[in-house]
Structure 1
Amino acid sequence: MPDPEVPVLTIADLGVLRAVEEDGGRLRVTVTPTYSGCPAMDAIRDDVVRALAAEGFGDVEVVTVLSPAWTTAWMSDEGRRKLAAYGIAPPQRRADGPVLVALSVRCPQCGSPRTRELARFGSTSCKALRQCEDCREPFDHFKDH
């Protein structure tokens, strides 16, 4: 099921879909928003219920869980590739341990590392607006967190 704000990603690619459990014919779907106030969560809940109803599941509960908080580490490698192909700079892949400071964000259009942040919040609160110093194109960057 596509994410309503970034339709090239599924909610599984994004790491928002945490679990699907069946108990006596009832499905319980657990989701975690990218931000606690994410405005897309109502749409995600409605889309999950609608998609599962179309597959014959009439008793569906969608539970939003805020802890542990969503992190970009939950995003799949395929999701990162899809973001880049769509023109959104993906977050850096992090290993467990110290948080690494990104020295640059590569432009998804030309690949240049010479970019700058124009605004901390872009088209959605989980993205920042950046601009490439070489090709001059603005682009969204999915923020690391």
Structure 2
Amino acid sequence: MMTTTHSARAVAETVTDPELPMLTLADLGVLREVREEDGKVVVSITPTYSGCPAMDAMRDDLVHALGEAGFAEVEVRTVLRPAWSSDWITEEGHRKLAEAGIAPPGPVPRRSGPIPLTLSAPVSRVRCPQCGSADTVEVSRFSATACKALRRCRACHEPFEHVKEI
């Protein structure tokens, strides 16, 4: 492995999410671990949800960035347990989402015992990233990606995306 002034972790932390390019994989909480193992860099990532189509792009971007930084051998592993939670998005990630006009997720509700089955989406108070109003309505449960919903503000009438609580 080539010696470099950058640590592999520092390089991996600069790689952005292909679907939310204002966030790094570290901001999103997808980047789990970076370590050296048997002379290669091993990176562990967790998808935001099972079947996330961005995983191949994340893997390729990590391998490319680390290769450019001088790390000749890189392996990217997918870790499914524990499952990713929107609670893993950093404070910086929340700030960057809001600055980009995307409402960041609120905290994931914690439950004990069985989770009740409901046929309608839960009502949540999502603030508009444009004007700050909590008077918003969900237009579509899915937006450009499965992890986002499309909402509209009743105060300023602007549509916006919201990263769902998972």
Larger radius of gyration: 2
**Which residues of 2 match residues 1-145 of structure 1 at below 5 A?**
1-94=15-108, 97-98=110-111, 103-145=124-166
Alpha-carbon distance between aligned partners in 1 of 2:164 and 2:124, rounded to the nearest angstrom: 14
TM-score by length of 2: 0.82
After superposition, the Cα gap between the structure-2 partners of 1:67 and 1:49, relative to the gap in structure 1 and judged at 3 Å, is same
Q: Which runs of 5+ in 2 are unaligned?
A: 1-14, 113-121
| Structure 1 residue 139: Cα displacement | 0.4
* Structure 1 runs (4+) greater than 4 angstroms displaced: none
| Structure 1 residue 58: Cα displacement | 1.1
Deviations 1:33-77 (A, max 9, x none): 001111110000000000000011111000011111100111101
Alpha-carbon distance between aligned partners in 2 of 1:11 and 1:113, rounded to the nearest angstrom: 28
Alpha-carbon distance between aligned partners in 2 of 1:143 and 1:49, rounded to the nearest angstrom: 28
TM-score by length of 1: 0.93
| Structure 1 residue 103: Cα displacement | 4.0
Q: Which amino acid aligns with 1:21?
A: R
Q: Which amino acid aligns with 2:152?
A: Q
Q: Which amino acid aligns with 1:56?
A: G
Number of aligned residue pairs: give it.
Answer: 143
Deviations 1:12-41 (A, max 9, x none): 000000000102321110000001111110
Identity of aligned residues (%): 58
Q: Which amino acid aligns with 1:42?
A: D
Alpha-carbon distance between aligned partners in 1 of 2:136 and 2:73, rounded to the nearest angstrom: 48
Deviations 1:68-89 (A, max 9, x none): 1100111101000100010000
